[in-house]
Amino acid sequence: MDSESNTILVVDDTPITARWVGYVVGRLGFNAVLAFNGEEALNSLAQQQFVAVICDVEMPGMNGFELLQSIREFYPALPVILMSASCNDERRRAASACGAQAFLEKPLNADQLTRLFGGTPEAQPVPELRAPVLSVLH
């Protein structure tokens, strides 16, 4: 594995969200690998080194908390950021207790990811999730 990996694993069962997050982290200077469920994410983790994982909580099969537990077991130092449309104090506490570095509320915006991964929105502008961006991502 490449010890100088500059790649973030993005896990979301909604393809447009996964692609948009991948696009944003790409604009911030990272490579993105997309996975659309927990099993795909674990397979990607076994194949490649990542600097972080951004993962949705609500996914069929293995949810984000279950994936986080597996990541903590096999990759204890890997930073994991969870995201969810259902964001409340109980979920934030659960995410923190499971070892997540951050818990982001969906819909995400580029500024949230910029604050986490560096850079400034002005230096590398990233369009918000709007129709013109959607056409680029398809």
Please indicate, yes or no, whether the overall pTM of this predicted structure exceeds 0.75: yes
What integer pLDDT is reported at residue 39 of this predicted model?
97
What's the pLDDT tens digit per position in 43-74? 999 999 999 999 999 999 999 999 999 999 99
> Distance between CA atoms of 43 and 104, rounded to whole angstroms?
24
What integer pLDDT is reported at residue 4 of this predicted model?
54
Higher pLDDT, 136 or 117: 117
Give the lowest-confidence range in 10-19, 50-59, 84-93, 120-129: 120-129
Q: Is residue 127 pLDDT above 50, yes or no?
A: no
Q: Which residues contact 30 (CB under 8 A, 6 or more apart)?
A: 6, 7, 8, 51, 117
* Residue 115 confidence class, pLDDT cut points 50, 70, 90: confident
> Distance between CA atoms of 29 and 75, rounded to whole angstroms?
23
**CA distances in angstroms from 118 to 24, 34, 112, listed in the order given:** 12, 20, 10
Domains and CATH numbers, the chain: 7-137 (3.40.50.2300)
What integer pLDDT is reported at residue 42 of this predicted model?
98
> Distance between CA atoms of 59 and 50, rounded to whole angstroms?
21
CA-based radius of gyration for the chain: 14
What integer pLDDT is reported at residue 119 of this predicted model?
54
Q: How many CA atoms lie within 13 A of 42 on its CB side?
A: 16
